[in-house]
A and B are shown apart, each in its own frame.
Chain A
């Protein structure tokens, strides 16, 4: 609509503009002022019409007032400014040519109507909006209440159905609510816990910090804590739990409740204790085992200044014999009885008895005064073993050897202490057993443990720590040197020269005997070859080499021997292999086969230590042997003069039997001329012993033989 300049329409628009400018700053509308002006323009038109109408229409004024509210001029200041505007400008811009006084009066009445209409509309709008927001709040509360109800029902289901125990207490400690799982854990009814205070639920096993944590929590200084805690059940038993306590705060963050979640760990704990017991105790005797003993020993050794320890290491004498002759069941019963007796010897605080394994036991005493205590302890143990043990109607005498180690804490490791005790115990055993010995550092240093030697053996062979000494074999008829027995020695870097009795059993045990035996054979045969070269026309010296039972069963024995002989250029007849009588007891054809083959080749087989085993003399016929070596025990009776007549008879019988089987007889351990003479008369063929020469280096033997030949 275009307006003629200063025409009625233009003047109406100017009124609307003035009006909108007056009202806009106090409206709440998001419209722009010009948009507001567009909204006011029709209102202005209605005001003009009412102003110019013949009869004043108050409804129009009221409608315009109400329309102001609809246009979001809800601030009463908007009404005030609108009325000012109507008062000042309506007649001026819209009054046209009418009588001013009438127009003014009409405008004034229109203002009254506008005010009434505005007030009415604002009141209705306000009430409607209040109603709407109240309704909305109510609906929202309904929704929330419903959701709360649902969530509460869910929470209750979780609370009641949970497998873990849940309890809620106020900050004073009053237990407000507990669930079924918690009641079941405590094994009681609701009354057991309801109305009790958290602080009453103490238990002697409570960790020191347990209640400190609780106090911090209820003071709001900590949000939660986790601990293992015991509770007393009404029936007096203990309930162990994994306990988590959390602080519940209200909406303002102020502490309100404590919430406890607990898991029953009683069974698991018992199981753990049992597993721990089983892992640390010997199943047969129920005594603490090696593991627990080492724990205690290490604890004792780690104790502070002034603390000492005393250790008795007990090994039963001859237990193996009992086990072998009466069977393991009897052996076990004996061990149980011994364990019980030992247990009764160490009952004071700081004392313990353990079984390390087999027939080895230890008793430990700790404290400041173990120097005296450990002797008493060893004495009690020896006493406890005196009374015979009755098993299967037999009275078995039990004896033991004890090694004692005593000293201050903090100097030695558990392994060192035990090693010292072990060595000392062996010292007691070597001294005849049934006694105790005190550890002595010098003896310890000298002592060579089987373990140490065993582990050093393989490297010793690689490093060439073994060497061979030769002991001459002398012909009793003419006194000439006929050969020598090769005897292996170990030049140990710490312990010096060790004889075969110290390491051959170990080498047999570990299987090292096979390479070691092969080396001895190789070296001895090579030596024999050397003697043969030097001897020229004279009779070549023979060589005797010991074969261990392990070597006998080794499949390479024959081939190795043949190879070695060939390589050294030595005839089989120059070699004699010595086999102990005990190795051939009960030997079947399979075992004898390699020996037979060697014998067929011309190698002599000697039966060593003859007379110590229980070989059937008749059995000699089927063995591929050509030499008997009489054990030294037979010749000991001939060292004095006159010789033991019984020994003489026995040796004479053996020689006669041997010769009738076409076997030569060699005697060992000849130490005197009288002995040598006696043996010669009895018909023995060759002899060896200190009377002729001790074992020595190969050159000495060569010299002896030369002297012999020239002599």
Chain B
């Protein structure tokens, strides 16, 4: 049954949360035992999950810097999770003071924590909303207050689209979001995939099952499927590639093989 908009999800911290599991991968302690338990289970199948998460964060940092370098100083980060070191607003505002950032997450705990972290930062805010309902995001007061949609915006969908099942049509959601953005806006995304994982899919599938068990199913997509999110976009060089290959700062000798799992890319609207 469709939940009415005014009836919020209840909070049950005995249920693992994707954003707190991610925090655990990144060495944080913004998590509870249930989250760590789920993380440990997933890591039994894919020990490299922390490295994949780190690679996501590192890609995001590079992409944000690229965006600022291209003159884009407004960011809409959907699926922002628990704020940890090297968040979008830190990276962006360090390069361009006054850069505007709106974080979006549907996890109320992540939102509450983000509110605490962002207290006193007038140029960044957080919205409790769901990627599957783009209109609620675009019509939120935070977006209206902070983002000028007549100017280019960098839309960040980092490590989030693989949590939207085909039944919820992530392609339509992304299309609806980007339709609201001005020309020159950037779509920054990463997506999980069996391609690039240094394990046979059967084994990686065990980690996918863990996410299914905690009712946050993970939808692995092929490179071709992921490329469809960029239909109608000009791909920024080097295109849709494994995360460490996207405009790396350092040589490949430091890379962990796990970081090559999944794909990252940046596209620009005409």
Contacts and interface: CB of A to CB of B under 8 A. Distances in A.
B94 to A, nearest CB: 13
Interface string B74-89: 0000000010011000
B50 to A, nearest CB: 7
A409 B13 CA distance: 75
A140 B30 contact: no
Given A133-B32, A147-B8, A139 B57 contact: no
Nearest to B87: A30
B7 A126 contact: no
A383 B7 CA distance: 77
Contact of A144 (B11, B50, B58, B116): B11
Interface string B37-73: 0000000000000100010011011000000000000
Contacts of B116: 132, 135-136, 139
B7 A28 contact: no
Nearest to B30: A133
Interface in A36-88: 72, 74-75
A144 B9 contact: yes
Contacts of A232: none
A249 B10 contact: no
B112 A139 contact: yes
A410 B152 CA distance: 80
Nearest to B25: A28
Contact of B249 (A24, A34, A137, A147): A34
Interface string A13-29: 00000000000110111
B27 A140 contact: no
B109 A140 contact: yes
A168 to B, nearest CB: 14
Contacts of B57: 30
A140 B11 contact: yes
Contacts of B26: 28, 30, 72
A32 B256 CA distance: 12
Nearest to B7: A151
B254 A133 contact: no
B21 interface: no
Interface in B1-43: 1, 4, 6-11, 13, 20, 25-32
B122 to A, nearest CB: 20
Q: Which of A72, A126, A150 has the most CB of B within 10 A?
A: A72
Given A30-B61, A144-B11, A137 B109 contact: yes
B175 to A, nearest CB: 29
Given A132-B116, A135-B116, A143-B108, A33 B27 contact: no
Nearest to B24: A28
B208 interface: no
Task: Give the residue among A31, A140, A151 with the most B Cβ atoms within 10 A.
Answer: A140
A445 interface: no
A216 interface: no
B80 to A, nearest CB: 14
Given A129-B29, A130-B30, 6 more contacts: A28-B26, A30-B26, A74-B28, A125-B29, A148-B8, A150-B6
9 contacts: A28-B54, A31-B58, A32-B250, A129-B30, A136-B112, A140-B109, A144-B108, A150-B6, A151-B8
